A and B are shown apart, each in its own frame.
Chain A
Amino acid sequence: MSEDLYQNDLLRLAAEARGTGRLQAPDASVTLDNPLCGDRITLDVQLAAGRLSALGHEVRACVLCQAAASVIGRHAVGETPARLRAVAGEVRALLKPDGGPATPSAWPEIAAFQPVAAIRSRHVCVELPFKALVAALDAAAPEGGDA
């Protein structure tokens, strides 16, 4: 499976490193560790008018985690917290062993993570940035609360 894993899509996404760097004045900032390998992501969010207005992250991690953070960096700004939580849900579903093919997402790059589904020990690498995103949104704009 890693023949597919380390194809150019994921390497390119990781190399693009979209969204890297910290925000000056984030509404919320979350740091999460991957207990498997000690990798770490810190993710900052800023919200305005019910949408994500700015995002920054610092990732010390493998290609999979970097690529996932980069996809978030490319697409997340401008989305509502509800939409972002839904995308995180899509990623979780994609990685389920019997999840089948991804539900078509507005974020086409997410399909590149499909081969990871077969490798249970690496799910957490892809999910970590999305978990950090949801945790930051929870802190900045609690679900059901006013943003």
Chain B
Amino acid sequence: MTFQPEALPAALRRQFPLLGRTVHGQPLHYLDNAATSQMPQSVLDAIANHETTARANVLRSVHFLAEAASAAYEESRAECARYLGAGVPEEVVFTSGCTGAINLVAHSFGDGRGPGDGRGPGDGLGPGDEVLISELEHHSNIVPWQMLRQRRGIVLKALPVTDDGRLDLTHLPRLVGDRCRLVALTHASNVTGAVTDVASVVAAARAVGAKVLLDGAQYAAHGPLDLPALGVDFYAFSGHKTFGPNGVGVLWARGEILADMPPFLGGGEMIRRVTIEATTYAEPPHRFEAGTPPIAQAVGLGAALRWIRGLDQAAVQAHLAALTRRLLDGLAALDRGRGLIRVIGPGDLAARLPVVSFTVTGAHPHDICQILDRHGVALRGGHHCAQPLMDRFGITGTTRASLACYNDAGDIDALLAGLEDAMARLRVGTGASGLSNP
């Protein structure tokens, strides 16, 4: 490959105005992309352009601006559909984010029209019906199902996790039985970076007629998808983790499923005809978009996905794999075989995203992150909204570096230098009492 490791991020970096700033007098090393990624100039321009030339409410007024706003909003939906490999734009529902999308499914598919007797996707789940999640899900893909359990008496099961932070799919035959109606798993872990073997999950679910939901919050930023080929039924992700704005996300679902599902929220925009006695609902996707949607945000999301599609995906992947390797090797070198630094995640770069979580014996993740912040390095420490996974590993939190295409070797080296400083300040490995308490 002719790819030059540093040429790629340098060219990309220039497109992100925020990355040029300093923090605490240091160049910014932004390594918290799994929480929120930054927006390139083209996305910022698309939002500003929309707000200054076409701002109006959508799908109601007939004036010029309203037409322009509606066109931009629907074009953005089409862009999302192209990115996801979806058949038609109508399979794309704009939500407030990934959490909003999963909650929509928990209500519209989970509750459905009432306690499920039939097997239609709009019939809803009833007592004894099963939803399978996993121990490494984000709270956003746990709590909505616990709430559904409270409403409907469903049974919630969880797939275990291997010692290197992957879903343990050997348990699928045991956990996906006749009563299983939905398998809701993350496409990639926001803690361990492990990427889910979707084909195995889909095969197990299909065998019993269960639907599959993938939480794409982490995976979606890493290149265009072909959801119909993946064989899943629902896909959820957020704009702010895909180089777009926050306040917007997407639920994709197969057309025939959306068509049968009742709405979740009621209000304007989602109706066909309202009388005081009764209401008939609009067709999807508008049935699921009650009220004024996040219009400029949706336009920004469309621009962000277009921007990702314009990248050389193979070069980006090679670049991120090289940086992940550099980070993993650097952590091992810093540890010097003392067993103080423990990476929680797969060692195989092909099976993981550039999301690296680690613990340091004797140093709390928030203390590490606070000291690294002075070095200009933005990391995240804590439970990452995945407390069952923390319990699985017997820890309260990890320190996490999550990379995007604009990161470079300088970012990784700044992290490693900062971590060395943090370990010294926190007296890691010196046997100092009291601080070994993460």
Contact = CB atoms under 8 A, between A and B. Distances in A.
Interface of A: 1-3, 5-6, 11, 14-17, 36-40, 59-64, 66, 70, 119, 122, 125
B367 A62 contact: yes
A-B residue pairs, 6 tightest by C-beta: A15-B434, A62-B364, A37-B382, A38-B383, A38-B396, A17-B434
Nearest to A36: B382
A2 B371 CA distance: 6
A37 B435 contact: no
B427 interface: yes
B275 interface: no
Given A39-B396, A61-B364, A2 B370 contact: yes
A125 B366 contact: yes
B435 A38 contact: no
A36 B382 CA distance: 7
Contacts of A15: 432-435
A63 B432 contact: no
Interface string B382-424: 1100010010000011000000000000000000000000000
Contact of A37 (B365, B373, B427, B432): B365
Q: In this complex, which of B367, B374, B426, B427 has the most chain A Cβ atoms within 10 angstroms of its Cβ? A: B367
16 contacts: A2-B374, A5-B370, A6-B371, A11-B425, A11-B426, A15-B434, A17-B434, A37-B365, A37-B381, A38-B390, A39-B364, A60-B437, A61-B364, A62-B365, A62-B438, A125-B366
Contact of B387 (A38, A59, A62, A70): A38
A11 B437 contact: no
A64 to B, nearest CB: 8
B311 to A, nearest CB: 33
A11 to B, nearest CB: 7
Contacts of B374: 1-3
Contacts of B425: 6, 11
Contacts, number: 69
Q: In this complex, which of B425, B433, B437 has the most chain A Cβ atoms within 10 angstroms of its Cβ? A: B437
B434 A16 contact: yes
Nearest to B366: A62
Contacts of A14: 434-435
Contacts of B371: 2, 6
Contact of B382 (A5, A38, A66): A38
Contacts of B438: 60, 62
Given A2-B374, A40-B396, A63-B367, 7 more contacts: A5-B370, A6-B367, A6-B370, A6-B371, A11-B425, A16-B434, A38-B397
Contact of B383 (A11, A37, A61, A66): A37
A66 B438 CA distance: 10
Contacts of B366: 36-37, 62, 64, 122, 125
Nearest to B396: A38
Nearest to B391: A38
Contacts of A17: 433-434
Contacts of B364: 37, 39, 61-63
Interface in B366-381: 366-367, 370-371, 373-374, 381
Given A3-B374, A62-B367, A37 B433 contact: no
B426 A60 contact: no
A38 B427 CA distance: 23
A73 to B, nearest CB: 11
Nearest to A12: B434
Contacts of A3: 374
B306 to A, nearest CB: 34
B167 to A, nearest CB: 22
B141 to A, nearest CB: 18
Contacts of B435: 11, 14-15, 63, 66
Nearest to B395: A38
B421 to A, nearest CB: 10
A128 to B, nearest CB: 12
